[in-house]
Structure 1
Amino acid sequence: MSTSLFSPYTLKGLQLKNRVVMAPMCQYSVTEKDGKPNDWHYVHYLSRAIGGTGLIIMEMTDVDPDGRISDLDLGLWSDDHIPSFARIIDGVHSHGAKIGIQIAHAGRKAEDALEPVAPSAVKYPEDRYKVPRALTTEEVKEMIQLFADAVRRAVQAGVDMIELHGAHGYLIHQFHSPLTNKREDEYGKDLSKFGVDIIQAVKKEMPEDMPLFFRISAVEYVDGGYDIDHTIDLCKAYQAAGVDLFHVSSGGEGPAGERKPGNYPGYQVPFARSIREALDVPVAAVGILDDPALTQAVIANEDADLAAIGRGMLRDPYWAAHAAIALKEKETTYVPKQYELGYS
Structure 2
Amino acid sequence: MSLLFEPLKINQTTINNRICLPSMVIGGYSDETGMVSEKNIEHYQSFAKGGTGLIIQEATCPSTYGKVAEDQLGVWSDDHIPGLKKIADAVHAEGATILVQLCHAGVTAIEEETFCPSEYSCTKNDRFRKGTALTLEHIKKIQDDFVNAAVRIWKAGYDGIELHGAHRYLICQFLNPRVNKRTDEYGKQPTLFVIEIINRIREIVPDTFIIGIRLGAFEPTLADGIANAKALEKNGIDFLNISYGCTGEFDSYVPEDYPFKDVIYAAAEIKKNVSVPVFAVNGIKTPEMAEDILQITGVDMVNIGRSMLVNPNWANDAKASQDTGKCLVCRQCMWHKTPPKCPGRKILNRKLVRANKTPILN
TM range (shorter): 0.7 to 0.9
Aligned residue type for 1:115: E
What is the Cα deviation at residue 41 of structure 1?
A: 1.0
Q: How does 1:25-174 map to 2 (within 5 A)?
A: 25-111=24-110, 113-126=111-124, 127-174=126-173
Corresponding residue to 1:285 among 280, 283, 291: 280
What is the Cα deviation at residue 130 of structure 1?
A: 2.4
The residue aligned with 1:323 is: 318
The verdict on how the C-alpha distance between 1:259 and 1:53 changes in structure 2, with shifts beyond 3 A counting, is closer
Is the 8 Å Cα contact of residues 19 and 54 (structure 2) preserved in structure 1?
Answer: yes
Corresponding residue to 2:222 among 223, 228, 232: 228
Q: What is the rounded CA distance, in whole Å, between the counterparts of 1:316 and 1:266 in structure 2?
A: 23
Is the 8 Å Cα contact of residues 123 and 129 (structure 2) preserved in structure 1?
Answer: no
Alignment pair present for 1:187 and 2:182: no
CA offset digits 1:40-70 (Å, max 9, x no partner):
2111101111111011100111111211111
Alignment pair present for 1:239 and 2:254: no
CA offset digits 1:214-251 (Å, max 9, x no partner):
1111015xxxxx11100111111111111011000114
> What percent of counterpart residues are identical?
34
What's the secondary structure of 1:45's corresponding residue?
helix
The verdict on how the C-alpha distance between 1:115 and 1:159 changes in structure 2, with shifts beyond 3 A counting, is same
Aligned residue type for 2:134: L
Deviates more, 1:166-175 or 1:29-38: 29-38
What's the secondary structure of 1:342's corresponding residue?
coil
Deviates more, 1:316-325 or 1:144-153: 316-325
Is the 8 Å Cα contact of residues 275 and 281 (structure 1) preserved in structure 2?
Answer: no
The residue aligned with 2:298 is: 303
What is the Cα deviation at residue 210 of structure 1?
A: 2.4
What is the Cα deviation at residue 172 of structure 1?
A: 0.4
The residue aligned with 1:254 is: 247
Structure 2 residue runs without a partner (length 5+): 324-354
What's the secondary structure of 1:272's corresponding residue?
helix
Aligned residue type for 1:228: L
Structure 1 residue ranges (4+ consecutive) displaced by more than 4 angstroms after TM superposition: 255-262, 264-267
What's the secondary structure of 1:93's corresponding residue?
helix
What is the Cα deviation at residue 183 of structure 1?
A: 1.4
Deviates more, 1:293-302 or 1:269-278: 293-302
Structure 1 residue runs without a partner (length 5+): 221-225, 329-339
Q: What is the rounded CA distance, in whole Å, between the counterparts of 1:267 and 1:104 in structure 2?
A: 24
CA offset digits 1:88-122 (Å, max 9, x no partner):
110111111111101120001102x1311111120
Q: What is the rounded CA distance, in whole Å, between the counterparts of 1:192 and 1:236 in structure 2?
A: 10
The residue aligned with 1:342 is: 357
CA offset digits 1:149-201 (Å, max 9, x no partner):
00000000111121111111100000111111111222112211112111212
Q: What is the rounded CA distance, in whole Å, between the counterparts of 2:277 and 2:233 in structure 1?
A: 10
The verdict on how the C-alpha distance between 1:185 and 1:81 changes in structure 2, with shifts beyond 3 A counting, is same
What is the Cα deviation at residue 28 of structure 1?
A: 2.0
The verdict on how the C-alpha distance between 1:189 and 1:267 changes in structure 2, with shifts beyond 3 A counting, is closer
CA offset digits 1:259-310 (Å, max 9, x no partner):
6999x96542211111111123310111111111010122234521111111
Alignment pair present for 1:178 and 2:171: no
Aligned residue type for 1:254: T
Corresponding residue to 2:307 among 300, 312, 319: 312
- Paired residues, what number? 324
Q: What is the rounded CA distance, in whole Å, between the counterparts of 1:265 and 1:52 in structure 2?
A: 25
What is the Cα deviation at residue 204 of structure 1?
A: 2.1
Deviates more, 1:282-291 or 1:6-15: 6-15
Aligned residue type for 2:98: I
Is the 8 Å Cα contact of residues 62 and 146 (structure 2) preserved in structure 1?
Answer: yes
Is the 8 Å Cα contact of residues 19 and 304 (structure 2) preserved in structure 1?
Answer: yes
The verdict on how the C-alpha distance between 1:118 and 1:259 changes in structure 2, with shifts beyond 3 A counting, is same
Q: What is the rounded CA distance, in whole Å, between the counterparts of 1:121 and 1:258 in structure 2?
A: 21
Aligned residue type for 1:314: L
The residue aligned with 1:332 is: none
Aligned residue type for 1:342: K
Which one has more relative contact order, counting CA pairs under 8 Å at least 6 apart? Answer: 1
What's the secondary structure of 1:149's corresponding residue?
helix
What is the Cα deviation at residue 319 of structure 1?
A: 1.1
What is the Cα deviation at residue 3 of structure 1?
A: 4.8
* TM-score normalised per structure 2: 0.83
Q: What is the rounded CA distance, in whole Å, between the counterparts of 2:356 and 2:154 in structure 1?
A: 38
* TM-score normalised per structure 1: 0.88
Aligned residue type for 1:236: K
Is the 8 Å Cα contact of residues 60 and 102 (structure 2) preserved in structure 1?
Answer: yes
What is the Cα deviation at residue 13 of structure 1?
A: 2.0
